[in-house]
Structure 1
């Protein structure tokens, strides 16, 4: 019998949400297929129907995203929208191999114990107060981005160490949730500073621009905006989540914990040498001309060699690479390629954006950033939003004489640091619940004012900095 006050949403019933998603995806695809979309070629109409169908499957999580992506790729090929060479073009570019190399390097740094040693070193020096721990999440997030080129293992490592500090200091539940949430918020911010800060989103951004952007080139355009974004996000965080109870942190026990690690092991030293070599070569790519992807792969191989390596083994090729994310990147890049070859990107730009491209870069940034943020709130997935928004925005910008990197970085920023609910950023979603100790309430409380911070970063900060750097 139904009890008063025990209301169950239709979407909460088992199996209902996926069925609704399947129904909406079919209706949307069929409608697009038969609608008279003037100016859009038949191949473009097919591409739009298949893409919209897949996006709905992503949003409703009908199956794991990697399988939805595979279905989309097969749809492009089997329905004659694009050739296999076009659909899987990213496998022939350095971008995909940079992602793979970065995953393997991250595995080595974590597996060897080097990352935990570095993190513990910084924790002892910053873990003196509640605010010190908040600052630590940003400092450590940035430092570890040199060693671990992916946000997931960085955030999980930092959280494991933060959890130990929380338990030893007797922090109350409210402050514990705030400290856990800070780890994942800081990871989203600091991931924007370096090209290898996020080996999926950052590298996908370069792919959408169609330009060759090196490690130092990314730092030239994004390091200052990324650092300022991190500072603004940290100050906002401190204002929204103030300390509620005194925190007594036992630094002596932390030092004793560090002493247990002893001297650096052979694997840690070897890993540090190989990763340092990669950083030096990435920073000097303009001198030697070797693409960062090939450097990452060579370092990964070096870490597996006998005598001078021995950190990575054949099992790491499967367990160390996040294959679902890799397939998702393939799908995102395929949407961009298909959008360009079928004329879909041009059609979307012509129908969704003003006919005349703003010549003022600040107005252009407000338009691109604002539209992207709105679409991101609907789609949820950052990479899915980028794959939909970047191609038409790039076409829109290039037609007015802007560099294609300009809209690509704007779209990237709008999805990389902005969210209101956990599902709108995979790193924030990763920490929700038992992992980070926070829930949707904390994310919403921070996400709403974060919208204003994101606009400040997008418009006055990034545009002004890029003008100084000569991007225009």
Structure 2
């Protein structure tokens, strides 16, 4: 059977070849486990770090002061050794991927509890952090848009409506990525929706693969991959990574949660600016488009996309419900300062409505929640809680400044 470059089924994620690890990455994964164990044992039991032996209470957070009072000076010193050992070992395991990331997170949580860095209640409670719930609920809402195929319908319609030439196609995908980022918190789900569409569009403009490659195809593929991730950065619920970052920022500020608009106002304009810069650099400097690459090369190519859109049929009741639910959720997120309902509570409302039998849009079995990602996030939150309880970041920063001669008495 000959390969049809205009068949969207040929570009599903599950049909793509799996990327194999390079030789260096394989060695990293082999050495990562033993190296992390050696570093943990050395730091915790055999190292002698002078500034961790005698820790001043000056500059410690309220949580760290409570642990100091509870454990005494010697005990507090030991949990800082433990926290440094756990942190170094976790970073090695996460970077080398010697074991799955979620398993590293579970080991982090267990190690923090067993070494007494913080209490079981504090460590295990991180899985119930408000941002963790926002993560879970965002995936429920995203599954609603994917299951009803309203996201795919919007992407096809927008490309057909505005993608009349190469410029229109590029701008269309910028808009599509930004809109989907506001609604779908899983970057993999966005890629699964958009990959078949932009690969077919690339083929329509002459990039059919093999020897038939051109700068339009290179731009379209690279720009979309960039936009899927960078567009997500513009919204607090755009991806698991942004939710994790929001949680870490909230923790650093001593707050329980981070407002949706607090993230949106600075992050979205920056994301749009970087996407536009990437579009300009890609199409005008690095992969400049030739005149023949600026117009479709395959007759009837756009008609194939139109047939794909028509195959979805007319808008269904479930699609209208999905759009209505998410527009209401976004509206409440954006007006948090007016009604005072937290983003997590708003997401709860949307998820409950979406799951209500008969009235809702999705069933629980239709929901795609990446629990491995949530366990990874829980480990990262617990690591942050351990760092806060031990006061280690402040201790290391103070020692670093002292090493270069900057102290509290320095007049600048």
Change (3 A) 1:353 1:275: farther
- Aligned equivalents of 2:244, 2:189: Cα separation in 1: 19
Secondary structure of the residue aligned to 1:341 is helix
- Aligned equivalents of 2:25, 2:306: Cα separation in 1: 49
How big is the shift at 1:49?
Answer: 0.8
Q: 2:174 aligns with which of 138, 151, 157?
A: 138
Q: Given the alignment of the two structures, is residue 261 of structure 1 paired with residue 312 of structure 2, yes or no? A: yes
How big is the shift at 1:237?
Answer: 2.6
How big is the shift at 1:279?
Answer: 1.1
Q: What is the aligned partner in structure 1 of residue 91 from structure 2? A: 55
- Aligned equivalents of 2:27, 2:262: Cα separation in 1: 48
Q: Given the alignment of the two structures, is residue 338 of structure 1 paired with residue 383 of structure 2, yes or no? A: no
Whether the 8 Å CA contact 2:185–2:237 is kept in 1: the answer is yes
Whether the 8 Å CA contact 1:189–1:226 is kept in 2: the answer is yes
- Aligned equivalents of 1:186, 1:127: Cα separation in 2: 17
Q: What is the aligned partner in structure 1 of residue 276 from structure 2? A: 231
How big is the shift at 1:357?
Answer: 12
Whether the 8 Å CA contact 2:147–2:366 is kept in 1: the answer is no
How big is the shift at 1:130?
Answer: 3.6
Q: What is the aligned partner in structure 2 of residue 39 from structure 1? A: 51
Whether the 8 Å CA contact 1:69–1:327 is kept in 2: the answer is yes
Cα deviation, 1:351-375, whole Å, max 9, x if unaligned, reads 44677999xxxxxxxxxxxxxxxxx
Whether the 8 Å CA contact 1:97–1:294 is kept in 2: the answer is no
Which structure exhibits the higher relative contact order, with contacts defined as CA atoms closer than 8 Å and separated by 6 or more residues?
2
Q: What is the aligned partner in structure 1 of residue 354 from structure 2? A: 303
Whether the 8 Å CA contact 2:236–2:246 is kept in 1: the answer is no
Change (3 A) 1:13 1:186: closer
How big is the shift at 1:126?
Answer: 3.7
Change (3 A) 1:189 1:63: same
TM-score (norm 2): 0.77
- Report matched runs for 1:147-162 at 5 Å: 147-162=183-198
Q: How many residues align?
A: 346
Q: Given the alignment of the two structures, is residue 125 of structure 1 paired with residue 161 of structure 2, yes or no? A: yes
Secondary structure of the residue aligned to 2:51 is coil
Whether the 8 Å CA contact 1:208–1:336 is kept in 2: the answer is yes
- Aligned equivalents of 1:168, 1:18: Cα separation in 2: 41
Secondary structure of the residue aligned to 2:311 is helix
How big is the shift at 1:143?
Answer: 1.0
Greater Rg by CA = 2
Q: What is the aligned partner in structure 2 of residue 82 from structure 1? A: 118
- Aligned equivalents of 2:325, 2:348: Cα separation in 1: 11
Whether the 8 Å CA contact 2:33–2:99 is kept in 1: the answer is no
Cα deviation, 1:376-398, whole Å, max 9, x if unaligned, reads xxxxxxxxxxxxxxxxxxxx9xx
- Aligned equivalents of 1:242, 1:42: Cα separation in 2: 59
- Aligned equivalents of 1:313, 1:277: Cα separation in 2: 20
TM-score (norm 1): 0.67
- Aligned equivalents of 2:405, 2:238: Cα separation in 1: 32
- Alignment gaps of 5+ in structure 2: 1-21, 53-76
How big is the shift at 1:35?
Answer: 1.7
Q: Given the alignment of the two structures, is residue 207 of structure 1 paired with residue 247 of structure 2, yes or no? A: yes
Q: 2:221 aligns with which of 155, 180, 188?
A: 180
Q: Given the alignment of the two structures, is residue 243 of structure 1 paired with residue 266 of structure 2, yes or no? A: no
Q: What is the aligned partner in structure 1 of residue 7 from structure 2? A: none
Q: What is the aligned partner in structure 1 of residue 235 from structure 2? A: 194
- Aligned equivalents of 1:105, 1:356: Cα separation in 2: 50
Q: What is the aligned partner in structure 1 of residue 377 from structure 2? A: 329
Whether the 8 Å CA contact 2:90–2:104 is kept in 1: the answer is yes
Change (3 A) 1:142 1:75: same
Q: What is the aligned partner in structure 1 of residue 38 from structure 2? A: 27
Q: 1:72 aligns with which of 108, 111, 116?
A: 108
How big is the shift at 1:107?
Answer: 0.7
Whether the 8 Å CA contact 2:142–2:186 is kept in 1: the answer is yes
